[in-house]
Amino acid sequence: MEFEQFCNLLPKIELHAHLNGSLSAFSLQKLGCSNEQISEYQQLADLQATEKTLNECFKLFKVAHSATKNQQSVYLATKYVIEDFFNENVAYLELRTTPREEQNMTKADYIESVIRAIKDCDKNIIVKLLLSIDRSDDLKCEENLELIIKMRQKYPNVIKGVDFSGNPYNGTFDPKLFQKARNCGLFITLHCAEIKNDEEVEEILKFRPDRIGHGTFLHPNFGGNDSIWKLYLDTNIPLECCLTSNVACGTAKSYKQHHLQEWIKNSLPFTLCTDDKGVFGTNLSKELGLAYQYFSLTPTNLWEMTQKTVSYTFASDEEKKVLTKILQDWKVKNHF
Ligand code: 5GP
């Protein structure tokens, strides 16, 4: 089997995908974005990594947000994104999104629309929902969490966790807030060390989230420091690694100089993810291909990484067994 075909056909697990950032230009078109908006989106998405900054990347989300302002468009957006992941053989998807209020839609309506699309999905893919707390919406974090907890009680099999995201230059991590979420049975995944902010990173690691996203400025060779890295090693928290996103936002210098190399070298837990595949023009199969190209991860390494990722998911034990079997059967069928 050709390597590209391997990456596409492997039953994959995606743990870090933001709903609105995952919308393709084609989906945005179907959701009513004008040609002008689409070309702005694509022009920005096509810019060379060095021309972009994290702040510029954040501007791109406005395009998708302008196309998902009511319940029907949120429903359709969720449906399209799930279908796109399914079409590249993602077997398990944890989709995350920030509940958003618009003129004719409450945050609860937003969540209901996403859940309706997940429940209506008739494809062979397991989909779970993580609800994001936007760090730049500081004043509403508490209120947002209350809503998430309420919705989780209503949909315990779909809503599995809480994410902390949004522009890392804004807001601060509040351990009390996430402890409350944890006490209510929610899993916690936190964007961590996307920019250099040692004080916050230390607090996040001491909190011991179930997973962290990006982890860019942790290792001393990548802007972290020895005590932060030691703290990370003590926790051994799985990393959601988003190669293309980090390179595109300029937080990693290049694919070759990406901090993932430290995880590989030290046999630390990680999984490859897309982050915002619409914004960054990628998909999970491509991310696997990049890990092969730049870090020499063989098909066997990538299969093993996917198998390990099963244990990092927020799925039930039963679902984990199903995923393990899918992967085992696929390996046997494809003789490797
Ligand atoms: P949404 O939550 O609206 O479905 O997806 C887009 C949102 O996810 C963005 O507005 C932003 O808050 C968050 N997001 C997407 N990608 C990133 C990222 O790379 N880093 C951080 N910190 N937040 C992100």
CATH of the domain at 248: 3.20.20.140
Helix (H, G, I), strand (E, B) or coil at 21: helix
Secondary element (H or E) of residue 178 = helix 175-183
Q: What are phi and psi of 309, to 5 degrees?
A: -60, -30
Q: Output the CA 21–ligand 1 centroid distance in Å.
A: 7
Residue 221 has which token pair? Answer: 């060779």
Q: Is 276 in the pocket of ligand 1 (CB under 6 A)?
A: yes
Q: Output the CA 58–ligand 1 centroid distance in Å.
A: 7
- How confident is the chain (336 residues) per 10-residue block, as mean pLDDT? 94 98 96 90 63 76 95 98 98 98 97 98 98 93 97 98 96 97 98 97 98 98 97 97 94 96 98 95 96 97 98 98 98 91
Query: What is the C-alpha to C-alpha distance for residues 276 and 54, in angstroms, rounded to an integer?
Result: 13
Q: Is 194 a catalytic residue?
A: yes
Q: Is 163 in the pocket of ligand 1 (CB under 6 A)?
A: no
98, 100, 144, 162, best to mutate for ligand 1 pocket (most atoms within 8 Å of CB): 98
Query: What is the C-alpha to C-alpha distance for residues 135 and 236, in angstroms, rounded to an integer?
Result: 24
The CA distances from residue 270 to 237, 238, 306, in Å, are 8, 5, 10
Query: What is the C-alpha to C-alpha distance for residues 25 and 62, in angstroms, rounded to an integer?
Result: 13
Residue 311 and residue 90 in contact, taking contact as beta carbons nearer than 8 Å: no
Q: Is 168 in the pocket of ligand 1 (CB under 6 A)?
A: yes
Atom 11 of ligand 1, nearest CA residue: 166
In terms of Cα–Cα distance, which of 158, 138, 214 is closest to 148? 158
58, 63, 68, best to mutate for ligand 1 pocket (most atoms within 8 Å of CB): 58
Q: Is 22 in the pocket of ligand 1 (CB under 6 A)?
A: no
Residue environment code for 194-206, b if the CB has 16+ CB neighbours within 10 A, otherwise e: bbebeebbbbbbe
Residue 94 and residue 14 in contact, taking contact as beta carbons nearer than 8 Å: yes
Q: Output the CA 55–ligand 1 centroid distance in Å.
A: 12
Q: How many domains does the chain have?
A: 1
Point out the catalytic residue in the list 88, 94, 194, 287: 194
Q: What pLDDT is stored for residue 52 in this prediction?
A: 61
Q: Output the CA 321–ligand 1 centroid distance in Å.
A: 30
Residue 201 has which token pair? Answer: 């990173």
Q: What pLDDT is stored for residue 47 in this prediction?
A: 60
Residue 88 and residue 274 in contact, taking contact as beta carbons nearer than 8 Å: no
Q: What pLDDT is stored for residue 48 in this prediction?
A: 56
Q: What pLDDT is stored for residue 53 in this prediction?
A: 75
Q: Which residue's entry shows tokens 């075909």?
A: 5
How buried is residue 109: exposed, middle or buried, by Cβ count under 10 Å (0-12/13-18/19+)? Answer: middle
Residue 268 and residue 230 in contact, taking contact as beta carbons nearer than 8 Å: no
In terms of Cα–Cα distance, which of 289, 262, 287, 265 is closest to 276? 287
Atom 24 of ligand 1, nearest CA residue: 166
Q: Which residue's entry shows tokens 């998902």?
A: 68
Q: Which residue's entry shows tokens 């964007």?
A: 191
Residues forming beta bridges with residue 161, ordered by sequence position: 130, 187
Q: Output the CA 299–ligand 1 centroid distance in Å.
A: 30
Q: What is the residue range of 255's domain? A: 3-333
The CA distances from residue 67 to 45, 96, 109, 116, in Å, are 17, 17, 16, 18
